[in-house]
Amino acid sequence: MAAEDDVARTHASNDWFDGFVEPASVTLRRALVARNGVQDGCEAAAEALAWAWEHRAELEAMANPLGYLIRVGQSSLRRDRRHRRQRRSFDIEPHVEDGARFDADLFAGLARLTPDQRTAVVMVHMYGFSYRDVASLLDVSDAAVTNHVHRGLARLRQLLGEERS
């Protein structure tokens, strides 16, 4: 009887994971790419999803599993960077669904923001997340996200020469 219960729990956990992982993986990748650039962000997302599969039962019990996976991805990058002893430049590939054309200066400006500012600006203004959603994902307060977005946009305006008196 105990073996049958274990099998039933495993199937339920797998079903939960299947429903969770598809939408979560998109958000996870976007957040990690916004913070770390395309190559490192995609690698971090893959590491986090691998961890998620191995620990799906633990993940299911968490209050904010997506926020936890973002931290897992960030941790994997810290380990990799310690081993490589180098820092990659920030490279972002715009996610374009409507065929909009992006200015290269904008992406150069984004590269000069702090990682927190860049993540908040990209998640809010490129991907349309609410401040509250970004705060939840990054496990910070709404006020912190507001500060990152406002300071990041002000810095972008300054870098792009659009500052108005």
User: Per-domain residue ranges for the chain?
Assistant: 1-91, 92-165
Q: Global pTM?
A: 0.64
pLDDT number for residue 104: 73
- The arithmetic mean of pLDDT across residues 94-103, rounded, is 51
CA distance 79 to 39: 15
Q: What angle do CA 29, 49, 7 make, to 5 degrees?
A: 145
Query: Domain 92-165, CATH 1.10.10.10 — does that match?
Result: yes
CA distance 82 to 114: 20
Whether residue 102 is predicted with pLDDT greater than 60 in this model: the reply is no
pLDDT number for residue 69: 92
Whether residue 116 is predicted with pLDDT greater than 50 in this model: the reply is yes
User: Could you tell me how far CA 111 lies from the centroid of its own chain?
Assistant: 16
- The arithmetic mean of pLDDT across residues 89-114, rounded, is 65
Whether residue 86 is predicted with pLDDT greater than 70 in this model: the reply is no
pLDDT band for position 15 (cuts 50, 70, 90): confident
Whether residue 77 is predicted with pLDDT greater than 80 in this model: the reply is yes
Tokens coding 164:
């108005």
Task: For helices 142-159 and 131-138, give the axis angle rounded to 10 degrees.
Answer: 110
CA distance 99 to 143: 33
- The arithmetic mean of pLDDT across residues 59-79, rounded, is 89
DSSP letter at 60? H
| Alpha carbon separation from 67 to 8, 140, 141 (Å, rounded) | 27, 10, 13
**Contact status, residue 149 vs residue 124, Cβ threshold 8 Å:** yes
pLDDT band for position 4 (cuts 50, 70, 90): low
pLDDT number for residue 117: 93
- Per-residue pLDDT tens over the stretch 45-67: 999 999 998 988 888 888 999 99
Q: What angle do CA 86, 91, 92 make, to 5 degrees?
A: 145
Tokens coding 134:
């970004």
Sorted by sequence, the CB contacts under 8 Å of residue 75 that are 6+ apart come out as none
